[in-house]
Amino acid sequence: MLIKIESLTKRFGTATAVDAAEIRVEKPAMIGIIGRSGAGKSTLLRMINRLTPATSGRILVDGTDVLTLKGAALRRWRRDCAMIFQQFNLVPRLDVVTNVMLGRLNGHSALASAFNVFSEADVRQALAHLDRLGIAEHALKRAEALSGGQQQRVAIARALMQDPKFVLADEPIASLDPLNAQVVMDALRRIHVEQGLSVICNLHTLDTARRYCDRVIGMRAGRIVFDGPAELLTEAM
Ligand code: ADP
Ligand code: ADP
């Protein structure tokens, strides 16, 4: 088993944002989480990689509850589950290839650029990721000069530099036009198929989930109201 989430809750004051009874990911999968705005999708993903503290519950990964991890083990876990955000979260003035290499550092970005800590192997690997994502020609441009779809592919390359076991994508295409959305979803799907990684992405349209995901988790008011193959998802969601 890869991940088993049990009775995971998040309360903000008296409001319950997430109350997820159980989610199991037993083999690598491309999973879409769908539900209206406010359903708890983002909070759920952020609890998994410990960006948001959970109120109660367990997230077992190969038997270890990641909610109990501290220090080096917590940093290791955060590296294992790379995160992709709606707004890309690149460093706008840094060039693309450096943005990608920041994935190696897990957040110590200012230090990295100040001390130039990257090796030639890092550069080569970053360029290879950019090449596979079709944006190698932009490697030396500032991130801010790229289109949204290109920036999101840079963020995917940065995620891959972490050598993650999972990719967690929080509304990865919500800021993109349909064509770029397709390019980015294709890239995430390829990561799952070719590298055997689990990709869990929050999506707000059923169509996207049906098209790209083998499995869909439906959330409503913090609860899991559907979990199964996209074909079985009814319009009730
Ligand atoms: P999204 O629709 O992408 O989930 P939101 O606009 O709802 O984003 O939230 C943006 C940020 O504001 C997030 O960091 C979220 O945690 C925070 N947030 C959302 N709702 C509230 C709230 N009721 N009170 C305080 N912060 C909130
Ligand atoms: P979704 O990603 O499905 O849009 P969220 O996880 O962003 O949903 O939000 C779930 C619920 O939690 C919403 O009611 C939202 O307003 C609330 N919420 C999210 N972040 C915060 C926060 N930082 N403080 C208070 N309430 C929040």
8, 10, 43, best to mutate for ligand 2 pocket (most atoms within 8 Å of CB): 43
- pLDDT tens string, the chain, 237 residues long: the values are 589 999 999 999 999 999 999 999 999 999 999 999 999 999 999 999 999 999 999 999 998 999 999 998 998 999 999 999 999 999 999 999 999 999 988 655 555 555 667 889 999 999 999 999 999 999 999 999 999 999 999 999 999 999 999 999 999 999 999 999 999 999 999 999 999 999 999 998 889 999 999 999 999 999 999 999 988 876 555
Whether the CB of 15 sits within 6 Å of ligand 1: no
> Atom 27 of ligand 1 has which residue's CA nearest to it?
12
20 Cα: distance to centroid of ligand 2 (angstroms): 14
Instruction: Identify the residue whose tokens are 């800590």.
Output: 117
46 Cα nearest atom in ligand 1: 16
> Atom 10 of ligand 2 has which residue's CA nearest to it?
40
126 Cα: distance to centroid of ligand 1 (angstroms): 32
224 Cα: distance to centroid of ligand 2 (angstroms): 15
> Which protein residues touch ligand 2 with a CB less than 6 Å away?
12, 17, 35, 37-43
16 Cα: distance to centroid of ligand 2 (angstroms): 9
Q: Please give the model's pTM, rounded to 2 decimal places.
A: 0.87
Residue 36 phi/psi, 5-degree rounding, is: -65, 165
Spatial CA neighbour of 170 closest among 19, 29, 42: 42
pLDDT at 230: 86
37 Cα nearest atom in ligand 2: 4
The number of the ligand nearest the C-alpha atom of 17 reads: 2
Residue 24, Cα to own-chain centre: how many angstroms? 17
pLDDT at 53: 97
- Taking the C-alpha atoms of residue 127 and residue 129, their distance in angstroms, rounded to an integer, is 5
Q: Which residues contact 154 (CB under 8 A, 6 or more apart)?
A: 88, 90, 96, 99, 100, 130, 133, 135, 138, 143, 146
213 and 186 Cβ atoms separated by less than 8 Å: no
- Taking the C-alpha atoms of residue 4 and residue 202, their distance in angstroms, rounded to an integer, is 18
pLDDT at 171: 97
180 Cα: distance to centroid of ligand 1 (angstroms): 25
- Does the predicted interface ipTM exceed a cut of 0.90? no
Whether the CB of 171 sits within 6 Å of ligand 1: yes
